[in-house]
Amino acid sequence: MEPERLHAVCKRLGATLRRLRRRRGATQDQIAERAGLSLKSVGEIERGEGNPGLDSLVKLADALEVEVAALFTPESLAPPRISSERLENVRKTLEFINDLSAYYGGSPAGNPESAESPDNDSPDKKK
């Protein structure tokens, strides 16, 4: 790879890393600690001066709670990674909503077709 191209990729990677870190309100020191990297390494990568290996990129992505691809994806296209704890909270919330809905006679959340409606033809009804 040409040195100019590598430098440009490292600069974009660094800018994305900095943006993701700031979005989370974290310091370089906090990200370095979470990732098991040195503060110097994180600073160099953010300035586009470092050329991190794949192992460091995976550690940084984990520390930022994003997929590795998000480090190379424009902000508008990078979906956040949802932790298993957050997914479990969403699952419990939906379960609670379904229970409430069933208790009050409504349809389960996310399944409006299961609610009985006077307009729906029942297989038991004959015309």
pLDDT in tens, the chain (127 residues): 688 888 989 999 999 999 999 988 999 999 999 999 999 999 999 999 988 999 999 999 999 999 999 898 876 455 566 777 888 888 899 999 988 888 888 665 555 555 454 455 545 544 4
Shared domain check, 94 and 66: no
Domain assignment present for residue 121? The answer is: no
**CATH number, residue 32:** 1.10.260.40
* Global pTM value: 0.59
SS3 letters across the chain: CCHHHHHHHHHHHHHHHHHHHHHCCCCHHHHHHHHCCCHHHHHHHHCCCCCCCHHHHHHHHHHHCCCHHHHHCCHHHCCCCCCHHHHHHHHHHHHHHHHHHHHCCCCCCCCHHHCCCCCCCCCCCCC
Shared domain check, 62 and 15: yes
Number of domains in the chain: 2
Domain assignment present for residue 56? The answer is: yes
Shared domain check, 62 and 96: no
Domain assignment present for residue 119? The answer is: no
Domain of 101, in residue numbers: 84-114
Domain assignment present for residue 16? The answer is: yes
